[in-house]
Structures are given as structure tokens and as C-alpha cells.
Amino acid sequence: MDRLLITGGRRLSGEVELSGAKNAALPLMAACLLSKEPLTLTHVPHLADVASLVGLLAHLGVSVHMDGQGVRGHTGHRLMLNAATISSHEAPYELVRKMRASVLVLGPLVAHHGEAIVSLPGGCAIGTRPIDLHLMALEAMGAEIELKEGYIHARRPGKRLKGADIHFDKVSVGATENALMAASLADGTTRLRNAAREPEITDLANCLNAMGARISGIGSDCLVIEGVENLHKAEHVVLPDRIELGSFIVAAGITGGEALIHGGSLELLGSVADKLRAANMTLQEEENALHVKADSPIRSVDVDTHPYPEFATDMQAQFMTLMCLADGVSTIRETIFENRFMHVPELTRMGANIKLNGNIALIQGVEKLSAANVMATDLRASMSLILAALAAEGETPIHRVYHLDRGYERIEEKLGKLGADIRRAN
């Protein structure tokens, strides 16, 4: 099993380019199931989760071709998907268990192909993430759903799903995405109220419109979808990864460095940008890039996680690491997932002073962190430990970094360009 070896204490400086967003690429890939014509995606990150979904789509019968050619000034991979012929409607356990996003094939399969058998999903062990809102939305559009033996069995009784007014009791990115895709081919108008507003939702809606969907209210919490009979071929560029952006900003901040991050923007960050600035980071937009610089000392900042545009739960672990070296005391309240403080024991092994009380972490800043053997427990926790190691004295081995490969592309290479001493070992 791989591990990372990081020798800290180096000031990071230089230029780095963001990869395409994993959380945008996955629903975009699932959207290919809505059409019999090809969908071409560019700026697709080469990640374990992307490879997992490629395997699932291929199992369903989708023709998949990926190359390393960027277009229109974008690096990354080009992924060509063609679902003209579907040979299976089942997403089996062995293909779904590693990645929760696999459930995103459910809506497109039911809407376009009439039925789906999808294993209940897996993913990071960061807490309960039920799919009841996904199923509620599909049932509201007329789908018949049965749960048995760990599988979702869904079918469309007529030729098309029916438009519906759907109100989500809580904001759910995945449920919004599944409902948005299914409603694109429904008969009539669908309104999604209290819909997620994340940039990845906007990216999916824009891609669906390029395929011939009729979606309005994009960027708001009320999406209106006028169903159409068919979607056609399209090309779409995956938006840059905002969590990778935030992670690189923290890397500069925690090492007292600076970086020019190509593809970065303040809009992508939402209120995360405000909290980073409050922590004494300078963020300046340039042409298709964000220039970031750390101003000493790091200041303590309180954070509550909430759906976009508020502070992203996917940035909580990284920001906590920054607060470990802040001047003063900060609190972080996690409101999205109930088990997302698993990185705290590992940070304390490195000298951090963190106390937990339920869903609230109290962080007393310390002067320095020290190297220690640590273990990654989930994707974002992996990055938080990398950030801590970059600032720590000595060499830190980080074990179980397979989580990292699910969401960060070529992280050793990218941090190495900024001057980090980081290498991978078996």
C-alpha cells in the first residue's frame, strides 16, 4: 500500500494549474446515459473515482474512449462517451461499493432507458449519507421504486417520466443532480425547490442545456426544467476543481508562501475566500488565475460548514490544519456530516491542540507542528495531513493515501512544482 513521505519546513512558491473538478466530472459522465449521441468531455481529471465510473459505464454498454489531449487551452484528458447501445441496466455492488457517485446513473437510466438496478452506494466513511431524497424525487416523477437485497430497483411505467414540483427537505447535491438529469427527459415541467447551488450543479445544467435540455434558474435554489423528448451530442469543458484550489491556497498559507493558481477564481470558492482572507491570506484575481500570498501571522477564524455558497464541508479539514498554526483560538462547526473529524487524532499526533465537543472543534493555535507517522481516513483528511506535513519539522510518513488518489490528480507533481519535498513510496 502506498504512502507519502513529506519533509516539511519549505516555503512553497511558484505556479500550478488546477485539474478539472471530480465532483463535476462524475455527474457529467453519467449524463451521457440521457442520449444516444456522443458526449465529449474535456479537462477530465485522471482519478480513481473517474476510472471507477468509466468501468461502470463500460459495464452498462457505454462506448468509452479517453485520451490526454486538451482542447481550447485546457489541459487534462478528453473523454468521449457514447451510450447509443446499452447492454445492461444494472450497476452491481462490486462496481458501486467504492464510490458513492455511482448512484448518479440511477436517474438517467430510469428516464431514458426505462429501468435501473443500482446497488446502494459506498464511498468515504465520513457519516450517513442517505439516498432517500434521490428516490423521493424520482417517485415524484412517476418512477416505481423497490429496495431489496441491497439494491435499488427502479422502473418507469410509461414512455416518459412526468414533470413534478419537488421540494427537498434538505440541500443535497447528489439528489439535485439525479433529479435534474431525470427531469430533462420528463413529460412536462419540473421544479426543483431548495436545490443545491454548487458550481458543479451549474456545470451540469450548462452541459445538459448544450445537449438540448431546457433548464432555467441555473445558479439559484429553484431549478425549472422543461422536459424534452431527446438530447443530442455535445462537447463540454469540466470546470476547475474548487476544493483543489482551496487546498493549494492553504498550502501557500501554512508555509508562508505564495502561488499563482491557473484556473482559479474567487467565484469558485464562495465564502471560503472570505475565511481565507480573514486568516491573513491575500487573494488577487488575474487573467484566468488566482494569485495567493500568505501574510504573517495566520489569524484564527471561526467557521461553520454549510452548502454552497457558504463554507464547503470539503474544505473543513484543510482549513482546520491552517488554524492549527493560527495566532489564537478558533472553532469549526461541522453541520453536514456527523463523522468528519477523523483527521483530528492524526493532527494531534503532530502536535496540534484540538478539542472536540460533538460537531464542534476548538483549535488552539500552536507555534509549530512536528513530524509523525499518520494515517489518512478519507479523501479530504488525506489532504489535511499533507498540509500539516508541509509545515511540520522533519519527515512525515502518511499512510493509506489511496483515498487521496480518488480526488487529487498528480498531487506530488503539483506540490513539487511549488517546491515541496514530497515523494511516494510503497
Return the CA Rg of the chain: 21
Short-list 422, 395, 256, 418, CA closest to 325:
256
Extract the C-alpha cell encoding 246. Answer: 482551496
Calpha distance 294→366 (Å, rounded): 17
Of 95, 112, 20, the C-alpha closest to 53 is 95
Report which DSSP code applies to 105.
G
pLDDT at 70: 43
Closest CA to 290 of 74, 23, 16: 16
pLDDT of residue 68: 66
Helix (H, G, I), strand (E, B) or coil at 312: coil
At residue 306, the pLDDT reads 94
pLDDT for 120 equals 84
Helix (H) or strand (E) holding 237: strand 234-237
CA atoms within 13 A on the CB side of 18: 27
- Grid cell, residue 86, equals 446499452
Residue 48 near residue 406, CB atoms below 8 Å: yes
pLDDT of residue 71: 38
Give catalytic residues, as residue numbers: 124
Cell of 201: 450543479
| Cα distance between residue 391 and residue 345, in whole Å | 17
From CA 18, how far away is CA 254, in angstroms rounded?
19
What is the structure's pLDDT at 138?
A: 97
Q: What is the tens place of the pLDDT at every residue in 328-378?
A: 999 999 998 777 798 999 999 999 999 999 999 999 999 999 999 999 988
Nine-digit cell string for 128:
450517513
Beta-sheet pairing, 165-167 with 189-193: parallel
Asked whether the beta carbons of 5 and 397 are under 8 A apart, the reply is: yes
- Which residues of the chain, if any, have pLDDT below 50? 69-74, 123-129
Contact 45/22 with Cβ under 8 angstroms?
yes
Q: Are 423 and 5 in contact (CB under 8 A)?
A: yes
The set of residues, in sequence order, having a beta carbon less than 8 Å from that of 66 and lying 6+ positions away, is 44, 54, 77, 78, 79, 80
Classified as helix, coil or strand, 391 is: helix
The H-assigned helical ranges of 47-131 are: 48-60, 93-96, 106-108
Q: Which of helix, strand or coil describes residue 87?
A: coil
